[in-house]
A and B are shown apart, each in its own frame.
Chain A
């Protein structure tokens, strides 16, 4: 296998982008990534596009070809593939691009993610997202994602010493980071009270425990590490790419408060990179709900099971903490255009490793990790990236 590097990244701002359609979003992100890599479109060999549900959000399927077309590459007939793994679609698209380059099949490959979610009303988007769970066993009987993660939170809080305030601190910390990220959907800091007094969504999760509905797109370009310096002075090497699956329903899990797919993908990534936890300078985890970040921090092994609440409250996951988590603001504050989130995580880590993260920069960042989850943990994708 060849070593692979990220040579360019681009991302739209995230938010309710009423004046931008699906096509404008991915064209903007792609153009930014090409510009960053100082690359012209004709050098692209292949594309992988993470997208969860354009079919239901904008009634458009055949996304791979559509994007190649609007990228101006249709007449070059490059392979362009849509990748879908619910909210992990972006992370998985990145992994497919890495595999394509590592295998020697392709050289310059775009991994992008895009989701246009605000063209449908909130009830319709909630139902669409429910497709990431088991429709027959969960969706049809009324479960929604806030409901499923609320079950995880309830179980977790019953078994481990997590307080409501500690859970709120996840959102407070992510909003603090989002306020320092120019692409973030929410750029205002909040307090514990903001979370505690917000509308109840599904006990114990309140509005500010939940990631929002977001429009956005992100794109990264990967190439063989051996060729990376043709395009950039600051290539970011992909040290590990790992993926794991689990039961799609929550009730079939061994333990609903532990995402075993995250545990498996994390362990594989660490083995592949030949690194230990102390080597990781920051991690972008999949905080679709505050409880998801608590579980992720533990399941990736950054603290012991049951201790992430205190770990968070003690500031260990904040900027300047032992392991800064979600410097981008995470899904909570940066926003969660589902298919784009996994690519945005790579975008954020790349910015950190290039020392381009501005007010949220981690000093001397060398190695970063991304963690992207589909559903309640039926898919987990983990990558480790390193400054060259």
Chain B
């Protein structure tokens, strides 16, 4: 059975609070935090980007389980902020962890769900026995234009999952997707910041596709929200996942472990993968996890996952790498000026 062999997360240590951003734009911070349910967000260090975050997450995954990197036959990195338009992040990651050269690799982009699309691809390659292990990563240094509502949430972070057959810590019983051509959020080649359709990103975007993929999975598996210990949803803010969870019939306590957006922000391609990782951090054998990502443009990937005994076995060392809550601890807060420097928003004279 295909499943998760190991996983790892990386979140930069820097944070900026919503009120610090609001102060710059003359906005009401409590209105924004109240509306979004987000209070601070992670910020990359000066030398961090989607590639370094992907490498850190992959290395943390490999700290938790001893596998030969040469057995990783595929590396896929999903991101909206690949450092290069042409030159794959996935090759950098493969090289950094020693998986090259006998591997296939590619960068993925599907707004915020490229990471889960990478998981699905790896599942297919493993199932078809083309590879032993596949490495799927969602990683972003998310972009949000100054003063755009996105600026209050666009964060940095990523999660990596090694997908394989032998003795997984969590079995992926099923996955399915719901995809349409819906222009709710986009960034054209050469543009620095994404644009979006405001409220159009809600009902016709997020909710239609997350509900669509979720209900499709329930229909195909015969399961209901009550059959799952936990639920994880894409979390561009705290309100959307809470609302869709309620609509689908999940209780607040089911989604609590995977809802990390209030103090992390929206890590775009990293968002639902980090939510899943945070849930795996506390999961016990036999726990079942429902996951549904969302990517603008638009689509949702739903997963039916069951945690196995292997998560507590000697083969897997959960504590060998930092958990999500640990990565969220002890942040260094930046003011807007330093944040602007970290995000490269200040254009230097050449």
Do chains A and B interact in one complex? yes
Interface of B is mostly: helix
Most buried by B among A16, A19, A118, A199: A16
Assess whether A121 is in contact with B203, with CB atoms less than 8 Å apart: no
Interface assignment of A18: CB less than 8 Å from any CB of chain B: yes
Distance of B42 from chain A, by nearest CB (Å): 27
Say yes or no for A320: interface residue by CB 8 A criterion: no
Q: Quick one: closest B residue to A18, CB to CB?
A: B204
Q: Residue B98 at the A interface, CB < 8 A?
A: no
Q: Which of B28, B197, B204 contacts A121 (CB 8 A)?
A: B197
Taken together as a complex, chains A and B put the C-alpha atoms of A122 and B198 apart, in Å, by 9
Instruction: Report the Cα distance A287→B31, complex, angstroms.
Output: 27
- Per-residue CB contact flags for chain A residues 82-124 toward chain B (1 = under 8 Å, else 0) read 0000000000000000000000000000000000001001100
Instruction: Please report the C-alpha to C-alpha distance between residue A199 and residue B195 in the assembled complex, in whole angstroms.
Output: 22
**Cα–Cα, bound, A118→B197 (Å):** 9
B198 near A18 with CB under 8 A, answer no
B76 to chain A, nearest CB (A): 32
Cα A18 to Cα B31 with chains together (Å): 27
What string of 1s and 0s marks CB contacts (under 8 Å) between A19-63 and chain B?
A: 100000000000000000000000000000000000000000000
Closest to B198 in A: A122
Chain B neighbourhood of A122, CB < 8 A: 198
Contact at A16–B195, with CB atoms within 8 Å? no
Cβ-defined contact, B28 with A199, below 8 A: yes
Q: For the complex, count residues of B whose C-beta is within 8 A of A.
A: 9
How far, in Å, is A186 (CB) from chain B's closest CB?
13
A19 partner residues in chain B, CB cutoff 8 A: 204
Interface size class of A (residues with CB under 8 A): under 10
Contacts of A18 in B (CB 8 A): 200, 203-204
Q: Does B199 contact A (CB under 8 A)?
A: yes
A121 to B199, CA, bound (A): 10
Nearest-CB residue, chain A, relative to B196 = A121
Instruction: Please name all residues of chain B whose beta carbon is closer than 8 Å to the beta carbon of A118 when the two chains form the complex.
Output: 200
CB distance from B337 to the nearest CB of A (A): 26
Q: How far, in angstroms, from A95 to B198 measured CA to CA in the complex? A: 36
Q: For residue B198, which residues in chain A have a CB less than 8 angstroms away from its CB?
A: 121-122
Inter-subunit contact A16/B200 (CB<8 Å): yes
- Contacting A at CB under 8 A, from B294-325, are none
Distance between Cα atoms of A369 and B304 in the complex (Å): 60
Measured CB to CB, the closest approach of chain B to A146, in angstroms, equals 16
The A-contacting residues of B in range 252-288, CB under 8 angstroms, are none
Chain A, Cβ-Cβ closest to B182: A18
Chain B proximity mask over A175-201: 1 for CB below 8 Å, otherwise 0: 000000000000000000000000100
Inter-chain contacts of A121 with B (CB < 8 A):
195, 197-198
Nearest-neighbor residue (CB-CB) of B28 within chain A: A199
Per-residue A-contact encoding for B30-74, CB less than 8 Å = 1, 0 else? 010000000000000000000000000000000000000000000
Bound-complex Cα distance A221 to B230 (A): 57
Nearest chain B CB to A188 CB, angstrom units: 16
Within A115-142, the residues touching B (CB, 8 Å) are 118, 121-122
Nearest Cβ distance between residue B195 and chain A, in whole angstroms? Answer: 7
- Give Cα distance in the complex from A122 to B28, angstroms: 20
CA of A19 to CA of B203 in the docked complex: distance in angstroms?
Answer: 11
- In whole angstroms, how far apart are the Cα atoms of A16 and B199 in the complex? 9
Distance of A18 Cα from B180 Cα, bound (Å): 15
Q: How far is the CA of A122 from the CA of B149 in the complex (A)?
A: 13
Q: Which residue of B lies closest to A19 (CB)?
A: B204
CB distance from B243 to the nearest CB of A (A): 17
A62-B203 Cα distance, complex, nearest whole Å: 32
* Alpha-carbon distance between A14 and B178 when the two chains are bound, in angstroms: 29
User: Beta-carbon contacts of A326-359 to B below 8 Å, as 1s and 0s?
Assistant: 0000000000000000000000000000000000
Question: Which 7 A-B pairs give the minimum distances between C-beta atoms?
Answer: A18-B204, A18-B200, A16-B199, A122-B198, A121-B198, A121-B197, A118-B200
Chain B positions within 8 Å of A, measured between CB atoms, are: 28, 31, 195, 197-200, 203-204
13 interchain pairs (CB within 8 A)? Answer: A16-B199, A16-B200, A18-B200, A18-B203, A18-B204, A19-B204, A118-B200, A121-B195, A121-B197, A121-B198, A122-B198, A199-B28, A199-B31
A sample of 11 more A-B contacts (CB under 8 A), given A18-B200, A121-B197, is A16-B199, A16-B200, A18-B203, A18-B204, A19-B204, A118-B200, A121-B195, A121-B198, A122-B198, A199-B28, A199-B31
